[in-house]
Structure 1
Amino acid sequence: MVKQKSKLIDIFTNNEQEILEDWMREQIASITYRKDLLTEAELRTQSAELMGLMIAASRSGNVTDMTTPEWKPVLDFLAATSKTRAAQGFTTQETATFIFSLKQPVFARMKSELGTNASALAEEIWIATVLLDKLGLFTAETYQKSREDIIRRQQRELLELSTPVIKIWEGILVLPLIGTLDDSRTQVVMENLLQNIVDTNSSIAIIDITGVPEVDTLVAQNLIKTVSAARLMGAHCIISGIRPQIAQTMVHLGVAFGDVVTKSSLADALKYAFQQAGITVT
C-alpha cells in the first residue's frame, strides 16, 4: 500500500477545472455515454461534485487507502450514483466508465507537470492508477449489487402478480395457481392468501392447482404448508384441480393431503364452498 505523500493532490487542486473539462470531453466522446439517460448538465454536476470530494479526501495525504474516514464521502457518493444508474438502466461498463475515463485527463496533466522527471512521473501514475482502479471497482461492485436487488424485487413482484387472490363471494376466496410451486413462491402464496383472509374476513379459501403442471412431493408439502397456515387464520381450505394424472402420481409417490378437502375441478370446489357457507345460487 502506498503511504508516502503524493503530488497527486497538488495536481488535482491546481488543475481542477482543466481536468474536469478534459474529463467531460472524455465521457461525452465515449461510446458508453448515454445522453438518453443523463444530460450533459447532469453529468457535469456529478463529475464536479466527485472531483471536489476526491480533492477533499486527498488532503489527508493518503490517496490509496479507501478505508479511512476521509474517503467515506467519496464512497457514499459513488454508491448513490451507482444505485441511481442501475435503476435508470445503465450497464456495468457504462457506470464504471464514469471513473475510468478520469485516467486519461489525470495522466495527461501529470505528464505536463512531471514530464522531465521520469521516476516521479511513473510513481505518480502508479498512485493515480491504484486510486482510480479502486474507485472504479467499488463503483462496479455497488452497481452490480444494486442490479441484483432490483432483479430480486422484480422477481418478487412477478411472483405476486402470478398468484392473485380473488374474492368471488362474501367469505370465499379463490387462489388460482399456474406453473411450478417452489419454496420461494410458496412463501409469496402464503403471504398473499393470509393477508387476504384477514382483509376480507373470509372463512373459505379455494386453492386451484389446475394450472400446476405436476404435483410431486415438494409441491404437495408446499400446498400443505399453505393450507396449515390458512387454518391457523381460521379459514377452511379446499384444493381443486386434481386431474387424473396428478392423482395417479400422488398415489405412486405416497403423497396425501390428509383431511384436506380436494375436488377435481374449480366448479366442484365452488359448489362445495357454497354448501359449507350455506349459500344457495339460483
Structure 2
Amino acid sequence: MKTYIVSSLLENRENILERWGQELQDIKQEQYLQSISNSTYENMNAEFMDFLLKKLEFDSAQANEKVSKFTDKYILNGWPLAYFTKGLQAFRRVLLSILTEQETDMGILMEKFSEIDEWCDGVVNQLVHDYTGSWQDVFEMQKVSLMELSAPLIPVFEDITVMPLIGTIDTARAKLIMENLLEGIINHRSQVVLIDITGVPVVDTMVAHHIIQASEAVRLVGARCILVGIRPEIAQTIVNLGIDLTKFPTKSTLRKGMETALELTNKKIVKL
C-alpha cells in the first residue's frame, strides 16, 4: 500500500480500533465462536488488530512472513479461518468508512479504495493459503498416525497373533496391513495369524483379493493364516461374488478361530 495512504490511516489509529472492535464483537455472536470465553476473545481481538495495523507498515516480503507466523500460531490453537476472514472484511469496511468521511476528492478517494481493497484481498488470500497448507499437513500427519493404529498385530499366545481389522479397506490401507502383518510375524515368531474382519462393514472382490494376498504372503514366510469374523451376510456376499477363500481356514468367530489356532500349535486350554 502507498506510504501516504498508510500514514493517513495510522493517523486515525484510535478511531479505527474503536470501530473495528465493535465490529469484532458482533462477529463473536457467530455459532462457531460461542465456546470461546469473552476474555480470550477480547485478547485475540487486541492481538489481531495490533497485528494488522503493524502489517500496514511492513514491506511486502516482511509482511508475508509475519502473516505466515501469525497464522501458524492460531491454526495450532484451533482458531477458525472464518474468524480471520470476517475480521478482515470488517477491517476493510471500517477503513473505507473513515476514508469516505475524510476525503472529498473523488479521484483520490477511489485510488485509496482500490489500494485498500487490493491490500485486504492479499491478506485474505495468504491467510487462506496458509490455513489450507497447514491443515493439509496436519491432515496427512493424522492420516498416517491413524493408519498406523488401524492395522495392529497383537500377540495373544506364544506363536499366535491376531490382527483385528475395523472399517473400510482401501488399497493404501491394504498395503499397510500387509507390511504390519509380515513384520509382526517375523518379530513375534508367529506360527498362526488370525485376521479378524468382524469390524469390516463390506467385503467385496477388492477386499477379498487383498485378504487372499495377505494370507499367501503369510504362508510364504512360514506361518498359517485363519480368517475369522465371517458373518452370515459376508458369507453370502462372498458366495455371490464367486470369491474363492478355500485356500485357508475361515471361522465365524474369533473364539472358534482361536480354538483352531491352539490345535495347530499343539496347545489347549485346560480348566483347573
TM-score in terms of structure 1 length: 0.73
Please state how far the C-alpha of 1:112 moved relative to its aligned partner.
Answer: 4.3
Residues matched between the structures, number: 265
Please state how far the C-alpha of 1:271 moved relative to its aligned partner.
Answer: 2.0
**1:125 is aligned to 2:122:** no
Please state how far the C-alpha of 1:47 moved relative to its aligned partner.
Answer: 2.5
**1:99 is aligned to 2:88:** yes
Q: Which of the residues 7, 28, 49 maps onto 2:25?
A: 28
Please state how far the C-alpha of 1:147 moved relative to its aligned partner.
Answer: 5.0
Please state how far the C-alpha of 1:52 moved relative to its aligned partner.
Answer: 1.3
TM-score in terms of structure 2 length: 0.75
Look up the match of 1:268: 256
Please state how far the C-alpha of 1:211 moved relative to its aligned partner.
Answer: 4.1
CA distance in 1 between counterparts of 2:37 and 2:170 reads: 39
Q: Which of the residues 33, 39, 43 maps onto 1:41?
A: 43
User: Deviations 1:232-273 (Å, cap 9, x if unpaired)?
Assistant: 766532212345654454344342247433334423321222
Gaps of 5+ in 2: none
State whether residues 50 and 77 of structure 1, in contact with CA within 8 Å, keep that contact through their aligned partners in structure 2: no
Q: How is 1:243-282 mapped onto 2 (pairs within 5 angstroms)?
A: 243=231, 246-247=234-235, 249-257=237-245, 259-282=247-270
Look up the match of 1:221: 209
State whether residues 82 and 95 of structure 1, in contact with CA within 8 Å, keep that contact through their aligned partners in structure 2: no
For the aligned residue pairs, the C-alpha RMSD in angstroms reads 3.6
Please state how far the C-alpha of 1:217 moved relative to its aligned partner.
Answer: 0.9
Look up the match of 2:78: 88
User: Deviations 1:87-127 (Å, cap 9, x if unpaired)?
Assistant: 5263x4323112222112322332344x2211101110121
Q: 1:228 to 1:78 in 2, by over 3 A?
A: farther
Report the AA paired with residue 88 of structure 1.
G
Indicate the SS of the match to 1:174: strand
Please state how far the C-alpha of 1:208 moved relative to its aligned partner.
Answer: 1.8
User: Deviations 1:12-63 (Å, cap 9, x if unpaired)?
Assistant: 4434454334323321233346543843123312321232133112xxxxxx
State whether residues 95 and 140 of structure 1, in contact with CA within 8 Å, keep that contact through their aligned partners in structure 2: no
User: Deviations 1:114-143 (Å, cap 9, x if unpaired)?
Assistant: x22111011101210121123224324543
Please state how far the C-alpha of 1:230 moved relative to its aligned partner.
Answer: 4.9
Please state how far the C-alpha of 1:207 moved relative to its aligned partner.
Answer: 0.5
Report the AA paired with residue 276 of structure 1.
L
Look up the match of 1:14: 11
